[in-house]
Amino acid sequence: MSCKKISLYFLLISHLLSFTLAATNSSDILYDIYPYVRVYKNGTVERFIGTQTLPPSLDPINGVRSKDIYGIAPKLNVSARLYLPKNTVNPKKKLPLLVYFHGGAFFTESAFSPTYYNHMNSLVAKANVVAVSVNYRLAPENPLPIGYEDSWLALKWVFSHSEGGNGTDPWLKSYVDYGRVYLGGDSAGANIAHNMAIRAGLDKTGRVKLLGMFLNCPHFWGKKLIGSEGGGDPQRRAVMESIWIHAYPNSTGFDDPLSNPAKDPNLSKMDGKRVLVYVAEKDILKDRGLYYKRTLRRSKWNGIVKAVEVKGEDHVFNLRFPNTTKAMKMLNHLASFLNRD
């Protein structure tokens, strides 16, 4: 073994030992929400997924360009990854814009992780849209509602590039049709997208205007269990409840309007005209997503909502297995959805 390899080997071992020692000295676990996060009493936070990142780049296959933006909100760690499709040769033809919020149970993942980098690259190429993937701060270091506030700041920053605004990013100023802005997200990110649409509907400045939204396996919950929530796997149900309790310790509970849209008095004021909801048959959140569709229809919200249930699949299957037939069909459907006026 070369000296260089030996040095790297011992560096890795040293890193692992230091982390193990920190965990051991913590004496006890405060809470454990596997497979997302484990938090120790001494403040150590251990994330099991979503910690890897990929840099922005020019995708050699589909021609999508990406870049990172930092400092969206002064003094706050709010950032985003921007995506520009290959077909931007006609500056007079503005493109739809997708503002996307990543999932990860409010505890893990980022706009820069391989999962979301690959997903956004594929969707931007297929739909020929500009995209902004928002990187909000995570619990437990930054408990909710910080993630919501970060996301709202990012959304307002995006719209500062519309006509009359002071935004300076050339991609957002030159290529975006601000009459065709969509929100999107999966799991916890879908929850955030919905709540941003509510805030947009309540925004008295009138600057943030949305055309539609798609929600992939949205993370909604409620005090009263519905459908398979009550009769399904109790361990999965406990994980869902633990996520909200620890991500938002000062929440009013599972019927907080941020968690349960059916309890939101402002639901009918949600901005946008079209909503597409995807749920998966084996997902414990499936019935809550279908209930969201029914609740939105019963409200006085003036728009069209459609739900698609994918048989035989589980939570955010399209992100975990993006090359399957069902995932590709979903990708094509989302691309078509983003290109309707």
Active site residues: 187, 283, 315
How far apart are alpha carbons 326 and 255 in whole angstroms? 33
Long-range contacts of 323-327 (CB under 8 A, 24+ apart): none
Indicate if the alpha-carbon torsion angle 56, 58, 64, 65 is positive or negative: positive
Burial class of residue 267, CB neighbours in 10 A (0-12, 13-18, 19+): buried
For the chain, give the number of residues.
341
Pairing status of strand 176-186 against strand 95-101: parallel
Task: Retrieve residue 312's tokens.
Answer: 């035989």
Nearest to 120 by CA among 216, 41, 34: 216
210 CB-near residues (< 8 Å, 6+ apart): 181, 182, 183, 197, 200, 271, 272
Kindly state the tokens that stand for 105: 């149970």
